[in-house]
Amino acid sequence: MSEISAAAVKALREETGLPMMECKKALQESGGDQAAAVEWLRKQGKKTQELRIGRETTAGRLAVYVGPGVGAMVEVRCESAPVAGSAEFTAFAADVAKQLATGPGAATPDDLLKQPTPSAPGKTIGQQLDDMFNRIREVFKLERVVRIDGHCGGYAHHDGTVAALVELSADNPALGKDVAMHVVAKKPAAVSKEDLDPAEVDKEREILSAAARKEGKPENIIAKMIEGRLKNYYAERALLEQPFIKDEAQTIGKLAQASGVQIKRFMNWQLPKD
């Protein structure tokens, strides 16, 4: 077995973040070849991952990236809340979202794992994830990915537990971020009242009609009265009808209209709760 210098072990440790003894063994197994040692460590990590594949990933993080004419949102899972809140995991989630938005796109998480990572030239996102596993020894999973090719706004809460992506008819990142923040806070079911499930609207109309009859209202005015009361229902569920969280004097619809922008769609994600 070839003699391995302390300098070589130190260099490998700086590159991988792994313990000195693991780095020394990797160099010994690889005949002192630094690149081969890195690959050896990855393979050892893969073996360990296979042993832990059944472990639950109950924590995680959502990340959003918005660029010119594109937006992306990803969900990355891990085993524990401390790791989910760590700087390394947060940076990794941001890398994944950025690559999804600025790269060729990906239909599935597995497709994205094969693509290069923005922060580590020469590595794929999958290799970056494997390296992180080797250091932290938690199971990681890229759970969901979505990309919108169009003008977007996005928002992710600081703890990464909730996030939203909004598609607009024109470029207005500030408006898009405000609307995405509103979506996260108010959780609308659809963009407009016309987009709401007709069956659910009819059910609400029946409930309101029954309540009005119980109040003794005459049938000839119930229909008009119900349409008025439905405004509250729409304001709870339809994004354009909701009062804007930063200025409840105007609705999201009026806010968008004043900006000359149409809200085309939104995606609102949250991490599953334990």
- Return the pLDDT at 1: 47
- Return the pLDDT at 49: 62
Establish if 216 belongs to a structural domain: yes
Question: Which helix or strand (DSSP H or E) is residue 213 part of?
Answer: helix 198-214
Quickly tell me which residue has 């003794």 as its tokens. 216
Three-state SS for 68? Answer: coil
Query: Cβ(223)–Cβ(142) under 8 Å?
Result: no
Q: Does residue 151 sit in the same domain as residue 266?
A: yes
What is the C-alpha separation between 25 and 40, in angstroms, rounded?
Answer: 10
Which residues constitute the domain of residue 19?
6-51
Q: Summarize pLDDT for 105-125 with one digit per residue, the tens.
A: 999 999 999 999 999 899 999
Q: Does residue 22 sit in the same domain as residue 87?
A: no
- Return the pLDDT at 5: 86
Average pLDDT over residues 100-104: 97
What share of the chain in percent tops pLDDT 70? 96
Q: Does residue 213 sit in the same domain as residue 237?
A: yes
Q: Does residue 238 sit in the same domain as residue 266?
A: no
Q: Does residue 121 sit in the same domain as residue 133?
A: yes
- Lowest-confidence segment of 14-18, 107-111, 190-194, 243-247 by average pLDDT: 14-18
**CATH code where residue 109 lies:** 3.30.479.20
Question: Which helix or strand (DSSP H or E) is residue 265 part of?
Answer: strand 263-270
Three-state SS for 41? Answer: helix
Residue 267 neighbours by CB under 8 Å, 6+ apart: 73, 146, 148, 164, 165, 166
Establish if 96 belongs to a structural domain: yes
Nearest to 24 by CA among 39, 4, 43: 4
Q: Does residue 99 sit in the same domain as residue 171?
A: yes
**CATH code where residue 38 lies:** 1.10.8.10
Q: Is this prediction's pTM over 0.85?
A: no
Q: Summarize pLDDT for 24-82 with one digit per residue, the tens.
A: 877 888 888 888 888 887 777 766 666 566 678 889 999 999 999 999 999 999 999 99
Q: Does residue 164 sit in the same domain as residue 37?
A: no
- Return the pLDDT at 182: 98
Number of domains in the chain: 3
Q: Does residue 241 sit in the same domain as residue 211?
A: yes
Strand partners, 163: 156, 269
Establish if 171 belongs to a structural domain: yes
Residue 21 neighbours by CB under 8 Å, 6+ apart: none
Q: Summarize pLDDT for 149-172 with one digit per residue, the tens.
A: 999 999 999 999 999 999 999 999
Q: Does residue 94 sit in the same domain as residue 140?
A: yes
- Return the pLDDT at 53: 64
Q: How confident is the model at residue 230 (pLDDT cuts 50, 70, 90)?
A: confident
Q: Does residue 130 sit in the same domain as residue 223?
A: no
What is the C-alpha separation between 212 and 219, in angstroms, rounded?
Answer: 9
Q: Does residue 177 sit in the same domain as residue 100?
A: yes
Establish if 1 belongs to a structural domain: no
- Return the pLDDT at 193: 93
- Return the pLDDT at 9: 78
Instruction: Decide if pLDDT at 216 tops 60.
Output: yes
Q: Does residue 167 sit in the same domain as residue 232?
A: no
